[in-house]
Structure 1
Amino acid sequence: MTDEMLSNTKSERVRRIASLARKKERQAHGRFLVEGPQAVRELLVHRPELTETVYATLGAETWQVEIARLASDAGVRLERATTEVISAMSETVNPQGVVAVARTWAEPTEGALAEARLVAILHEIRDPGNAGTVLRAADAAGADAVIFAGESIDPFHPKVVRSTTGSLFHIPVLVMSTLEEAVEAARASDLSVLAADVRGSDVLEARAEGALDGPIAWVFGNEARGLSEADRVLADRSVRLPIYGAAESLNLATAASVLLYETAFAQRSR
C-alpha cells in the first residue's frame, strides 16, 4: 500500500482507467474495471492473480480492512484515492469507494467443458444486466461454464461485471464466435443441447420425460428476437416455461434462472 493519496481526477492514470468502460480500450490494454466492495472482494479471493491494482478511499467501513488484508495477502498493490478520483475512474454513479483494475483472460476452449453437466450459452444477448444476471444464476445453480456466443455483449463490460456480483470470478466464462461453435463444443463434451423458446414443449413435460436429468447445455437467445429457426434447429429440443398468469412473457434473465434451476433440481434428484 502506498502512502500517497491520489487526488487529481484529470491525471493520465485516472483517464486511462476510466477509458476501460469502452470495449476498444479493454481489448487494447487487456484490462477491465471491477467496481464496489463485493466484486473486488470476490476478485481478490478467487482470481487474485488477475488483479493489477486496487484503488480505495480511506475510511472506517468494515470492507476497508478486509480489502486491505486480501490485497496484502495476494501481493496486490493497494492505492488510496479520494472519493472524487474513485468516481472519475468508475463507470457507475456510486462505486462505493473502491475499484480494481484486473487483467482480462480467455478460457481455453479445448477441454473447457470436459465433464460439465450444466452449461449456459448466451446467444446475441445484448443487455449487460441480463447477461450478468444469467451468469450469476448459472453460478448459483452450480453450472460448470457460461458461453458468450455470436454478437453477445463483452463479459468484461463494467455493467456485466457489476451484475454478476462476483460470479464472473467463480465460473469459467468462454467467448465463442458463433452459436454453431458453442453447440459443437457442447456436443463434443456429451451435453444435450436445449433451446429456451416459447414454441417449445413445456418444461414440466420435458422434466417428466427425463430430458433434464443428464448433462445439459441451455441456449438462451436475444432479449427482443429470441432464437431464429436456424438457431433452434441446432438444438436437440426446444423447451418453454408456461405462463400461468396474465403476464405476456418473462424477461430473459428470469426465464434463464428458472430453467437453470429446474435442470439443477432434476440432475440432483436422480
Structure 2
Amino acid sequence: MTEKEFKVFHHLSQFVSDHKKEFVEKVLSHRTHHVTVVLEDIFQSQNASAVIRTCECMGIQDIHIIEMISKYEINPRVLKGANKWMDLHRYHTPGANNIEACFSHLHDQGYKILVADPDEDGASIHDIDVTDSKIALLFGNELRGVSPYALQHADQKIRIPMYGFTESMNISVSVAICLNSLISRLHASAMDFGLSEEEKNYIRLDWFRKIVKRSDLIEREFLRTIQ
C-alpha cells in the first residue's frame, strides 16, 4: 500500500463505526486465496449469482469467470451484493482461447486446477489434500458440462459422491458441497491459509470505500488537502 493509499484508508476509517470495523476484521480473518472457483460458460444468471454468493459466504476472495460462448450475467436478487466484497476475474477476449488464458494465469499463481465432473474416474472431493497446493475448482456449463479443453488440460478430475438415480446436481449446490468439504478441512488443519497483511490492507481500503457513503467525494476532497 502506498503512503497516499494509507492516508486515504485512515481518513475513511473515521466514517466507519467500531462495530463495522470489527465485522470487517472478522471476515478478513477467514478470507483466503488458497482456494478459488472457476466458472466456465455459465449461462443462467441465477446460477452464476448463487455460486458467487456461496463463495463469499465460505470466505473465498477470488472467482475466475471464463466466457467463450456464454456472457457472464448477474441476478441482483440472488446475488445480494456478494460480488462487491470479492475480486472477480473475467476472461472474455473476443476470438481468444479464454480457457487457456485462465489456466495459464492460475498455473502461474501456483494453483492446481481441479475440474468437477460426475464420471466415476474422478477423485472424491472429500479425498483431496487441501494442504498440498493452492486449489482452483472449475465448474462447467449447466447443459454441456466442462469443455474438452478444460478436461484435457486440468491437473485432476474430481467428483461429488452421489447415491441416487440422478447423475448431476445444480451447479450452486455442487460448489457449496465442494467448498464446504475443502474449507472445513482447511480450518481444521494447522496450515496458514489466510491473507497476508499487505493483502488485507488493500482489501480493507477497497471495502471501506464501499462501506462509506459517497466515499469517492470524501476521498477526492481529502486528497486536495494533502497535495
TM band (smaller chain)? 0.5 to 0.7
Q: Distance in 2 between matches of 1:223 and 1:212?
A: 30
Q: Distance in 1 between matches of 2:176 and 2:143?
A: 18
Q: Which residue of 1 aligns with 2:125?
A: 203
Does 1:186 pair with 2:106? yes
Equivalent residue, structure 2, for 1:123? 40
**1:194-219 alpha-carbon deviations (Å, 9 max, x no partner):** 10111222223x33xx2565321111
CA offsets per residue over residues 70-106 of structure 1, 9 Å max, x none?
xxx79xxxxxxxxxxxxxxxxxxxxxxxxxxxxxxxx
CA distance in 1, matches of 2:89, 2:179: 18
| 1:209-231 deviations in Å (ceiling 9; x for gaps) | x2565321111100011113321
Measure, in 2, the Cα distance between the counterparts of 1:228 and 1:185: 18
CA RMSD, Structure 1 to Structure 2 (Å) = 2.1
Q: 1:212 to 1:137 in 2, by over 3 A?
A: farther
Q: Which residue of 2 aligns with 1:87?
A: none
User: Which of 238, 254, 262 is 2:173 aligned to?
Assistant: 254
Alignment-derived partner of residue 219 in structure 1: 138
Aligned residues: 152
**1:211, 1:168 → 2: CA distance?**
25
* SS of the residue 2:78 aligns to: helix
Structure 2 residue 160 is matched with structure 1 residue 241: yes
Instruction: Report whether the alignment pairs 1:175 with 2:94.
Output: no
Tell me how far 1:179 sits from its aligned partner.
1.5
> C-alpha distance in 1, partners of 2:77/2:48?
11
Provide structure 1 residue ranges, at least 5 long, that are not aligned to the other structure. Answer: 1-72, 75-114
1:222-241, Cα deviation, whole Å (9 max, x unpaired): 00111133211221101011
| TM-score normalised by length of structure 1 | 0.52
DSSP 3-state at the match of 1:173:
strand
Tell me which structure has the larger Cα radius of gyration.
Answer: 1
Select the residue among 163, 167, 188 that pairs with 2:78.
Answer: 163
Q: Which has the higher strand share?
A: 1
Q: Does the 8 Å contact 2:63/2:88 carry over to 1?
A: yes
Given the superposition, is the C-alpha separation of residues 212 and 194 from structure 1 closer, same or farther in structure 2, using an over 3 Å criterion? farther
TM-score (norm 2): 0.61
CA contact (8 A) 2:65 2:91 kept: yes
Q: Work out the CA distance in 2 between the residues paired with 1:228 and 1:149.
A: 11
Equivalent residues in 2 for 1:127-146 (5 A)?
Answer: 127-146=44-63
Q: Using the aligned pairs only, state the percent identity.
A: 23
1:119 alignment partner AA: T
The structure where helix makes up a greater share of residues is 2
Match of 1:153 in 2: 71
More relative contact order, 1 or 2 (CA 8 Å, 6+ apart)? 2
